[in-house]
Amino acid sequence: MMTAPPPAIVDRSPAWFRSQRSARLLALPLLSAAGLGVSAYLTYVRLAHGAPLCGTGGCETVNASAYAAVGQVPIAVLGLLLYGLVLVLSLAALRGPLSLAPWMLLGVFGLTASGTLYSAYLTAIELFVLEAICPWCVTSAAIVTVICVVSAWTLLRPPAGLLGERR
């Protein structure tokens, strides 16, 4: 007669995670980490009063402009906060209690929707006011937009079991 294995070796991860490891859910923390890296670099450059490595020459113009900070807070620091929160929420959605995953994804979506809109505003400032493009800033804008789209897609078409239903 076979008995169940001791509880210590039973895989307690959610069934949807064990069965398919949704690429969308795995992409969120990876993209967040990439955004965190870009923001960390831009924060370092801003606080060290250095010049970012830039092939266009626009980075110096953008980084030295009045639009590069909100009050005394550099925009790059806001990016660090955004990507840090998104990383924590996306990891919680991926590995936390299954019942909280949709709420974590909703938080990711809300933060990144705001970040996408703000990035669009800043990109418009770069194009039409400063007439200079910072590839680092555009990269960050692209990352936050992709995270926003992926989180919306995951909320609208969740992996099997994420919202309690079976597909």
Rounded to whole angstroms, the Cα distance separating 30 from 11 reads: 24
Complete domains list, the chain, with CATH? 23-48+56-156 (1.20.1440.130)
Tens-binned pLDDT, residue by residue, of the chain (167 aa): 566 555 444 445 555 444 444 778 889 999 999 999 999 999 999 899 888 888 888 888 998 899 999 999 999 999 999 999 999 999 998 887 877 888 999 999 999 999 999 999 999 999 999 999 999 999 999 999 999 999 998 888 876 666 554 44
Could you tell me if 154 and 161 are in contact, meaning their C-beta atoms sit under 8 angstroms apart? no
Among 41, 20, 59, which Cα is nearest to 158's?
Answer: 20
Q: What tokens does 26 get?
A: 């795995």
